[in-house]
Chains A and B, each alone.
Chain A
């Protein structure tokens, strides 16, 4: 009773693309059909309406400061900039703290309880406080991205540092390496795969936090844009914005994965 019974021969080859393409086409078809049946164009737009909305958003003027880029790309640029700043801060502070906690036992006992105390609070629960502290716009968004990305980066860095093989630090010491050389020439490179995994998780959560922050505490960015068209009942433009959020998130993930493969080339071989 295998699935092959009813899949035509041409789809059984090495090439998985035909089937994957069909999957997407089928999804669009069902969407289109469901939207036509529902017949509520304001609330449930068809794919074609979304594409049209995308086109309109590309040419309508962008938010203040980036009018030239158009509404969609302008808001994308604003969101991207926030994520780049927030994520970079999280990467630097998270990796540094993770190295310290993961390498020295005393530092671990001193810092880890606080980290464990704050970690279970979902980043989104910080939104009210972020708005109280930083107002609207760039700063609270950056703060939330930093907060969301920080913890997975710290935890994964700690994990990587702690699992540095004992044999490798021993052999480095017998070869004459001092404590700092052991840390930077053995500990950190050995933790690199784990650190990269933390960065990958961090950027995903950071992107999520950004959209949440823009939904409530901002008057620009992709999150703000989809919330704005909710208030004007233009669902097609909201969905177009959602699509963009998905695409940017996907591209960031791919970019980081490429970077990871380049840094960790020695693992694959």
Chain B
């Protein structure tokens, strides 16, 4: 891990409600630095602005104040240097897996042969080899999420943004996908910002766990998870850290 990849500084995001002109503060004074190759998880109560933060970093929303810099350059809109993965996959149902994965290179003007090669590499990487010709409606939840991850990786982004990507998967598929994601991350060494509801998932996956407060969202506390990979959920340190973070979430810490 070397250098600051993503620097989020004093971000405030206010939404203006359509009716009555009332405004809600989704995020207040949120700051976070993420190192190159670092895996960071965000946990917090529902509506604490985790998703809003990811959308700001992705460039889909504009911050009301504060700045987001990637490699020292301010983020001003969506771009292929940041890959986003949604909980509900958001695959294009009219494209097969290969064409879904090749979408990024395609809109960026990469020649057909090259983007097919890229797509095939990413499909192999996420363990979907041989399923490239399948359409999303033919895939299971886990396979859909693999395809969505492959699609985000196809642009070779500097940062992978994941919004509760395993939230809709069954427990078994979920733990399988967690291990797959760790393998992919260790192969690629990209920075990952991962939003989750599950403290256990956060402790299992990340280098650091950022606990957020409820609305308006801001950083409550950051935990370093020093455990080596692969981690064991039965490990004593793992369990005590999980309990500590769970406690922090329910406001027993400062």
Contact = CB atoms under 8 A, between A and B. Distances in A.
B94 A174 contact: no
Range for the number of chain A residues in contact with chain B:
20 to 34
Q: Indicate the member of B82, B106, B151 with the most A CB atoms within 10 Å.
A: B106
A165 B90 contact: yes
A7 interface: no
A175 B110 CA distance: 13
Interface of B: 55, 58-60, 78-80, 82-84, 86, 88, 90, 92-95, 103-104, 106-108, 135-138, 151-152, 155
Contact of A174 (B83, B88, B92, B95): B83
B108 to A, nearest CB: 5
B98 to A, nearest CB: 13
Nearest to A167: B90
Contacts of B155: 175-176
**A contact face: mostly helix, strand, loop, or mixed:** helix
Give the 10 A-B residue pairs with the shortest CB-CB distance, closest first.
A175-B104, A176-B80, A167-B90, A173-B78, A177-B107, A174-B84, A171-B90, A269-B137, A266-B94, A189-B94
B135 A172 contact: no
Contacts of A120: none
A185 B90 contact: no
Interface string A100-111: 000000000000
Contacts of A186: 92
A168 interface: yes
B84 A185 contact: no
Given A189-B94, A269-B138, A172 B60 contact: no
Contacts of A185: 103, 106-107
Q: Indicate the member of B79, B82, B107, B108 with the most A CB atoms within 10 Å.
A: B107
